[in-house]
Amino acid sequence: MTSDSLKKTILNQQTLADLPSHIDRPTYDRSQLKAGIVHIGVGGFHRAHQAVYCNELLKNPGSEQWAVCGIGLLENNRGLRDILVKQDYLYSLVVRHPNGQIDNKVIGSMIDFIFAPDNKQIVIDKLVHSDTKIVSLTITEGGYNVHPATGELDVENSDVVHDITHPNDPKTAFGYIAAALKVRKDQGMKAFTVQSCDNIQHNGAVTRKMLLSFTALQDAKHPDRELSQWIAEHVQFPNAMVDRITPVTTKADIDYVAQNFGLTDEWPITCESFSQWVIEDNFSDGRPNWDNVGAQFVPDVTPFEKMKIRLLNAGHSVLGLLGSIHGYATIDETISDKDFAKYLRAFMDLEVTPLLDELEGIDLNQYKDTLIERFANPNIKDSLARICSESSAKLPKFLIATINENLAVNRDCSLAVLVIATWCLYSDKQVNQAQSQLDIQDAMQTELAEYAHKTATDPLAFLKLSSLFGDLINQPAFSLLYNDAIKSLYAQNSNIKNIMHNTLLQKGLTVAVETK
């Protein structure tokens, strides 16, 4: 096949006109766009969420300055870069509703992608460029380099150490951002906004704290920089709550697009129909009118993000760990089992809801009903392996924080305790009840396994990983429940569903909770 004929079979600017009429596509002139947003960490979630809000906004005249330039910092972003370049940065989005309805779209808000390992200076120059008003991030929890026990910058991380010592040769997102802000400061330019789009409570405040700590260490090493104070005075870090379930792309997704779009997209995105973005209206140099296309600007995002992290994200982890041990593969498969649905709803109702703030306009029961419906969407095959990946970065925020709050007010947390004990079994045996191998992906996998392996002789061994669990081992109200859970999980021929059932019985729950 010649290069010309290949161009006619793949999704790109030239072939947009060949798409079937029912497929939503960019109605704006992409040649007139400017990248006011530079986004670091172009994964599936960004392309299903922020980039989609930008795509819808760009359909409105006067918004041409709010297109996106993607940045890939890691070597494993090379393949994505090659695909996006070939497709003129266009990609397909398949939105799957619970009732089976499918919305087919092509997203055009990304107009460039820079691959940092090829040329770091080009990335810095792009961040410095006057068109860049916002630098946004989806770098996962681990990318913020927060020490899980102290909540401070992890100064032992090798890349952080490198960037502190070599500020003009960055490896981390903070290293690139600091290098660009240094140039802006020196040239008398306005600061850009740094906007986290990750599932982290107070994500803007966390980003600010880590960046200021990072640049303070750089300043101490290189006194001529004097950057940290300037950032504190000029750079805004709006907190935001983001929400849209976005499974990993599969071959079936690629095949679906080829059949229904009539063109090849080598990396399409599939997501659920639900989408939410609540943002504090706090920007350094202007912002897009995302509120015109479904986002919500608020003075304080705290109660919204706590609700989402403690119910949705923690709920995912509950289903992910318990379901993995049972032998399920996806979220919808797990929640369709009434025993798991009952357990999850009891966890949300009894151990999370009492800790949440009141939210004007939010009916928590309806929100939880909607979560169950979203998890049960049979058209979104969200793998439990993805949900459980990097649990060491997720669970301290999603689940352990809830445990600690309940312990502080002497409230029972046995449902969450079983999840932590199951995480120990998951990390130790690394197989499900049918002895099939689990796909475990975690930066702390070796350390988790090391502590979990000692459980046979020391039931509380896993809790001695204090960087994750803090002082939980010394909390009798927790450790006694944990010890009982471990005993049940490690018993010969143990069955996770029976253990879940018994845990619910101890809560006085004997019938399934209604889920709509």
Tens of pLDDT, residue by residue over 222-276, are 988 899 999 999 999 999 999 999 999 999 999 999 999 999 999 999 999 999 9
Question: How many other C-beta atoms are found inside a 10 Å radius of the C-beta of residue 375?
Answer: 26
Instruction: Decide if pLDDT at 511 tops 50.
Output: no
Instruction: Decide if pLDDT at 373 tops 60.
Output: yes
**Helices of type H across 236-330:** 251-261, 302-308, 314-326
Q: What pLDDT is recorded for position 257?
A: 97
C-beta separation of 319 from 340 below 8 A: yes
In angstroms, the CA 321 to CA 198 distance is: 21
Instruction: Decide if pLDDT at 3 tops 70.
Output: no
Q: Is 210 helix (H, G, I), strand (E, B) or coil?
A: helix
Is 17 exposed, middle or buried (CB count within 10 Å of its CB: 0-12, 13-18, 19+)? Answer: exposed
Q: What pLDDT is recorded for position 336?
A: 97
Instruction: Decide if pLDDT at 6 tops 70.
Output: no
Q: What pLDDT is recorded for position 8?
A: 61
Task: Provide the token pair at 82.
Answer: 């090659």
Q: What pLDDT is recorded for position 4?
A: 52
CB-based contacts of 450-454 (< 8 A; 24+ apart in sequence): 451/427, 452/424, 452/425, 452/427, 452/428, 453/428
Q: Give percent of the chain above pLDDT 90.
A: 90
Is 492 exposed, middle or buried (CB count within 10 Å of its CB: 0-12, 13-18, 19+)? Answer: exposed
Mean pLDDT over each residue of the chain, to the nearest integer = 94
Instruction: Decide if pLDDT at 124 tops 50.
Output: yes
Q: What pLDDT is recorded for position 54?
A: 98
Question: How many other C-beta atoms are found inside a 10 Å radius of the C-beta of residue 510?
Answer: 8
CB-based contacts of 499-503 (< 8 A; 24+ apart in sequence): 499/418, 500/322, 500/339, 500/340, 500/343, 500/418, 501/339, 503/343, 503/414, 503/415, 503/418
When pLDDT is averaged across residues 331-353 and rounded to a whole number, the result is 97
At 7, is the pLDDT very low, low, confident or very high (cuts 50, 70, 90)?
Answer: low
How remote is the C-alpha of 383 from its chain's centroid?
A: 14
In angstroms, the CA 259 to CA 256 distance is: 5
Residue-wise pLDDT tens digits, 45-73: 999 999 999 999 999 999 999 999 999 99
Indicate the range of 2-16, 240-254, 416-430 predicted with least confidence: 2-16
Query: Which segments within 274-318 are labelled E, that is strand?
Result: 276-280, 296-298
Burial per residue of 41-67, b for 16 or more beta-carbon CB atoms within 10 angstroms, e otherwise = bbbbbbbbbbbbbbbbbbeeeebbbbb
Instruction: Decide if pLDDT at 405 tops 90.
Output: yes
**CATH architecture of the domain with range 3-298:** 3-Layer(aba) Sandwich (3.40)
At 187, is the pLDDT very low, low, confident or very high (cuts 50, 70, 90)?
Answer: very high
When pLDDT is averaged across residues 357-377 and rounded to a whole number, the result is 90
Q: What are the structural domain ranges in the chain?
A: 3-298, 302-506
Q: What pLDDT is recorded for position 40?
A: 98
How remote is the C-alpha of 27 from its chain's centroid?
A: 29
At 514, is the pLDDT very low, low, confident or very high (cuts 50, 70, 90)?
Answer: very low
End-to-end CA distance of the chain, in Å? 52
At 478, is the pLDDT very low, low, confident or very high (cuts 50, 70, 90)?
Answer: very high
CATH no. of 302-506: 1.10.1040.10
In angstroms, the CA 347 to CA 130 distance is: 49
Kind and range of the H or E run holding 426: helix 414-429
Tell me the one-letter amino acid at 242: V
Instruction: Decide if pLDDT at 510 tops 70.
Output: no
At 516, is the pLDDT very low, low, confident or very high (cuts 50, 70, 90)?
Answer: very low
> What is the number of H-type helices and E-type strands within the chain?
23, 11
Q: What pLDDT is recorded for position 349?
A: 97
Q: Look at the block and give the residue holding tokens 């101890």.
A: 506
Instruction: Decide if pLDDT at 2 tops 80.
Output: no
Instruction: Decide if pLDDT at 515 tops 50.
Output: no
Task: Provide the token pair at 402.
Answer: 């809830």
Nearest residue to 192 via CA among 137, 142, 152: 137
